[in-house]
């Protein structure tokens, strides 16, 4: 568990701010458009986790996200002069939809600048709500820079998605409803992107229910709040992961951090697999398909329960449910791994007749989900195998020990990202007829924003100077594309190659020493 303790609040310096936010949240006129959402008791999960688990259902908003609250409150507080030329905002989706619908309700022209990587469902909804969409750049930062230029050139009022007092106040109304529905919550888990929801909710809850613990939950690869706590101020992340696109923010807001550092008790980070598992749990309990950012806080709640005492009332915010249907394929695959219901193993077996059958007998009465093999040499063979499990750590260990007792050499790749993202979709194996290039081969994984033509752009940026020895790319419907590539590099080329990689700006990690590569592909 990744935890960061927030500094203690200085009551004298924060009292005026706290009271002002409390008053404004209580008086926020959002219910002309937003609705009071349900608090759902997750009975099955409560039994499993030995706590009373509740889910605040912001998927029930007209735009299927809490963002409508802040956007509508902001527009309600604009002067007539600020609305003459319309409003503009940069958004990856949910703020865009909230602002578009709020502007339509109030008769204000809204322009939304969105990255080209934005899921179609969010782009289409903005247009359906009457907003003008301008697709610019491949990241939120590029869209945001463009929105600032448009605002200046066209005299439009810029509406920030999170770092704005009126937006923070609007998001704080979630806490007002939650406290009415669950007056004695022990811990509340709130997702963090730019911090607007966490700031608004925590300042309200700590005033009226000071004993309630507030925990912010971040995606492990977009943990800008944790970075801010570590540095003592907002700082830029070098890169952010794109799976949970609704919280893919490089820098926490200044206004939001000033509140969060006083009222948030702790920060937890969660992995992609843990988010996918929570999406599945939400679906099984509510039949709602949460987007990754929407399931973030429940993933943090479940991580908290792994070490908590039990018997508490815990609430998580389902912050949004806007997701492309095709992304479900990726989530379905990953949630099995997040729940430890599949083991991925590399096993050395004898290269002889009957060895496959003997190996399957050693697996026992368990379902094999996949079995990959390719001839390597006359003595032994490496197989890549997936085995379905019940989800307990004990069964996982029993499987490994059973194979070891049967004299098999086993490598557990269940938590190996290279194996999960690439190797299981490749034919694999070593080809004895291929000249040996292992002395000069270096393996790298790349991640880039996914959009039509993204792979072609990646290949063009890589250039034709390098001899590619291995290449794997799979479009799984998520917001990011991932490539595994091998390069034949002699000593004279390595410095130039690494300089080239650095200038490209893609997220990159060397995998040459990865056990999965060493076993199957090297």
Catalytic residues: 67, 319
* Angle ∠(88,142,508) on CA atoms, nearest 5: 150
Among the listed residues 416, 276, 296, 420, the one whose alpha carbon sits nearest the alpha carbon of residue 338: 276
Q: What's the Cα-to-Cα distance from 114 to each of 3, 94, 96, 292, 379, rounded to whole Å? A: 32, 11, 8, 19, 56
Please say whether the dihedral angle defined by the alpha carbons of residues 415, 476, 249 and 510, taken in this order, is positive or negative. positive
Contact partners, residue 498, CB within 8 Å, separation at least 6? none
Residues 298 and 317: their CA atoms lie apart, in Å, by: 7
State the sign of the Cα–Cα–Cα–Cα dihedral 455, 461, 462, 464: positive
CA distance 298 to 280: 11
Instruction: Give the bridge partners for 380, in sequence order.
Output: 350
Task: Determine contact, residues 158/89, Cβ cutoff 8 Å.
Answer: yes
The single-letter DSSP state of residue 235 is -
Report the 10 Å Cβ neighbour count for 341: 18
Residues 6+ apart with CB under 8 A from 471: 483, 484, 485, 486
Q: What is the distance between the alpha carbons of residues 408 and 229, in angstroms, rounded to a whole number?
A: 47
């Amino acid at each position: 568990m990744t935890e960061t303790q927030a500094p203690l609040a200085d009551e004298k310096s924060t009292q005026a701010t706290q009271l002002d936010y409390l008053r404004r949240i209580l008086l926020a006129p959002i219910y002309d458009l937003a609705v009071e959402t349900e608090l759902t008791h997750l009975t099955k999960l409560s039994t499993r986790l030995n706590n009373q688990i509740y889910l605040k259902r912001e998927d029930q908003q007209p735009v299927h996200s809490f963002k409508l609250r802040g956007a509508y409150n902001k527009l309600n507080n604009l002067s007539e002069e600020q609305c003459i030329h319309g409003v503009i905002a940069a958004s990856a989706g949910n703020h865009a939809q909230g602002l578009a619908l709020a502007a339509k309700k109030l008769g204000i022209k809204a322009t939304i600048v969105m990255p080209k990587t934005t899921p179609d469902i969010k782009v289409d909804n903005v247009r359906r709500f009457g907003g003008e969409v301008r697709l610019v750049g491949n990241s939120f930062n590029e869209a945001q820079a463009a929105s600032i230029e448009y605002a200046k050139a066209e005299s439009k009022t810029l509406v920030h998605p999170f770092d704005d007092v009126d937006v923070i106040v609007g998001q704080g109304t979630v806490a007002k409803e939650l406290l009415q529905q669950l007056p004695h919550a022990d811990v509340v888990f709130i997702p963090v992107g730019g911090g607007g929801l966490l700031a608004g909710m925590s300042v309200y809850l700590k005033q009226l229910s000071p004993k309630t613990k507030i925990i912010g939950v971040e995606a492990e690869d977009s943990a800008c709040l944790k970075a801010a706590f570590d540095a003592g101020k907002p700082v830029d992340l070098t890169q952010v992961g794109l799976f949970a696109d609704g919280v893919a923010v490089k820098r926490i807001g200044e206004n939001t951090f000033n509140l969060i550092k006083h009222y948030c008790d702790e920060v937890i980070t969660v992995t992609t697999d843990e988010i996918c598992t929570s999406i599945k749990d939400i679906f099984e309990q509510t039949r709602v398909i949460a987007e990754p950012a929407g399931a973030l806080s429940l993933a943090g709640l479940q991580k908290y329960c792994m070490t908590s005492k039990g018997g508490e009332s815990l609430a998580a915010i389902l912050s949004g449910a806007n997701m492309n249907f095709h992304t479900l394929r990726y989530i379905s695959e990953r949630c099995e791994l997040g729940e430890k219901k599949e083991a991925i193993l590399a096993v050395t077996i004898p290269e002889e007749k009957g060895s496959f059958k003997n190996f399957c007998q050693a697996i026992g009465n368990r379902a094999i989900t996949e079995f990959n093999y390719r001839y390597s040499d006359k003595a032994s063979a490496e197989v890549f195998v997936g085995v379905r499990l019940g989800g307990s750590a004990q069964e996982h260990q029993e499987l490994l020990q059973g194979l070891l007792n049967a004299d098999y050499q086993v490598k557990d790749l269940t938590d190996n990202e290279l194996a999960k993202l690439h190797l299981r979709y490749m034919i694999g194996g070593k080809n004895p007829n291929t000249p040996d290039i292992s002395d000069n081969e270096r393996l790298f994984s790349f991640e880039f924003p996914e959009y039509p033509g993204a792979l072609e752009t990646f290949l063009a940026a890589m250039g034709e100077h390098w001899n590619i020895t291995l290449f794997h790319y799979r479009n799984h419907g998520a917001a990011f594309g991932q490539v595994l590539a091998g390069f034949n590099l002699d000593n004279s080329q390595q410095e130039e190659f690494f300089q080239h990689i650095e200038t490209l700006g893609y997220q990159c990690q060397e995998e040459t020493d990865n056990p999965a590569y060493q076993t199957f592909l090297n």
